[in-house]
Amino acid sequence: MNKHRFVWHDLNTKDLDGAKRFYGEVWPPYVAVANTDSLCELASRLGATVMVPPTDIPDVGRFACWSDPQQASIAVLQPAR
């Protein structure tokens, strides 16, 4: 696994403007990490607001999503092994 690389950021749509209105700023990029839980805990201690706590995605991995104090959001994905 190449941790700390952007690994997932896609949207298939024929209506880009509608998708932008619907998703707004809640559509973050995903970065591969070795441990979703520990990184989410660290981000929270440093002031992030956890929007999605560490959650399993069957056959994909474990992810979480948070925003920093300036409201920039990001998600992390610990790929399934």
* Cα–Cα distance measured from residue 40 to residue 27, given in angstroms and rounded to the nearest whole number: 17
Q: What is the pLDDT of residues 17-65, one digit of tens each?
A: 887 787 766 677 889 999 999 999 999 999 999 999 999 999 999 999 9
User: Under a CB-based contact definition with an 8 Å cutoff, are residues 67 and 38 in contact?
Assistant: no
29: tokens are: 């990029």
Identify any residues that bridge with 49 across adjacent strands, giving them in sequence order.
67
For the chain, report the end-to-end CA distance as a whole number of angstroms. Answer: 9
- Answering whether pTM is above 0.85, one says no
User: Under a CB-based contact definition with an 8 Å cutoff, are residues 52 and 63 in contact?
Assistant: yes
CATH class for the region spanning 6-79: alpha beta
